[in-house]
Amino acid sequence: MDAMTTAIITATELAPELTGPNPPVLLDVRWQLSAAKAAGAPAFDGRAAYAAGHLPGAVFVDLDRELASAPGAHGRHPLPGLAEFGAAMRRAGVSAARPVVVYDGGQGWAAARAWWLLRRTGHPDVRVLDGGLPSWEGELSTEEPAVAEGDFVPEPVGGLLDADGAQDLARTGVLLDARAGERYRGEVEPIDRVGGHIPGAVSAPTTENVGPDGRFLPPEELRDRFKALGVGAETEVGVYCGSGVSGAHEVLALAVAGIPAALYVGSWSEWSADPSRPVAVGADPR
């Protein structure tokens, strides 16, 4: 199966698959960036949102606990251990021979993180519901399904950058910064130690990969967008963001466009925490 052409699925395409001979495992990964907590606002509760209504048969997956390990020296959302990630996916019913569809509340970042982790650890058939839960016009369920244990055993298969690899790629290929432009330029930094960007990285806000409805732009428009950012047919491409979540969404957008890319998971939260690493500010990549 060509992962580039099967990275996303529409609600219209998903509906008949749910009653087909090999229906996909549905993973609900609703999550929101917790920056609001710094201002005293309550944190978003993805499990509560799931309990209030989800796609029938979907299983809730907690991004902070099951798609990442504890925050630390490697950023706010470091990779989970393979054993822990595999156990979480098997609890959710994920098996190697059964397709998986992941969705979130519409932003797409959390669903893309689950998609990326499953793809880079060897699952052959994972898609993101384009537009997330808001795109679903069918009934929702408040029942938590009883799912059979899956058999998926993750193995690392690449697509990963560390800090040194990201720095090198900024010089030899194209390193895309998926954060908002003002964070890239260093004008504001609401979460991490310092604002700015990795020297040589190109500003490419992930929000510009989708239309007003939150769905991805057509593949040809995405290809044009990335071409304008310096991505050619043979270009090696990497992506980073704040902590490896919105960056996964940019990797997904690149996949929709037919362009493979690696993700720097530690991203700015790891890079900026190390005062020995250089920081660039302003609109110029260098």
Distance (Å, whole) CA 4 – CA 1? 9
Known active-site residue 36: no
Q: Minimal CA–CA distance to 79: which of 90, 88, 89, 66?
A: 66
The 3-state DSSP class for residue 174 equals strand
Instruction: For residue 269, give both structure tokens.
Output: 């939260």
The 3-state DSSP class for residue 141 equals strand
Distance (Å, whole) CA 77 – CA 75? 6
Distance (Å, whole) CA 216 – CA 102? 15
Q: Which of 11, 61, 111, 241 is catalytic?
A: 241
Distance (Å, whole) CA 173 – CA 230? 9
- What size, in residues, is the chain? 286
For residues 161 and 262, is the Cβ–Cβ distance under 8 A?
yes
For residue 48, what are the CA distances in angstroms to 30, 35, 161?
10, 19, 34
**Running DSSP on this structure, what letter comes out for residue 197?**
B
Beta-carbon contacts of residue 24 (< 8 Å; ≥ 6 apart)? 14, 17, 18, 98, 99, 100, 101, 125, 127
For residue 10, what are the CA distances in angstroms to 19, 27, 133, 206?
16, 15, 11, 20
Active-site residues, by number, are 241
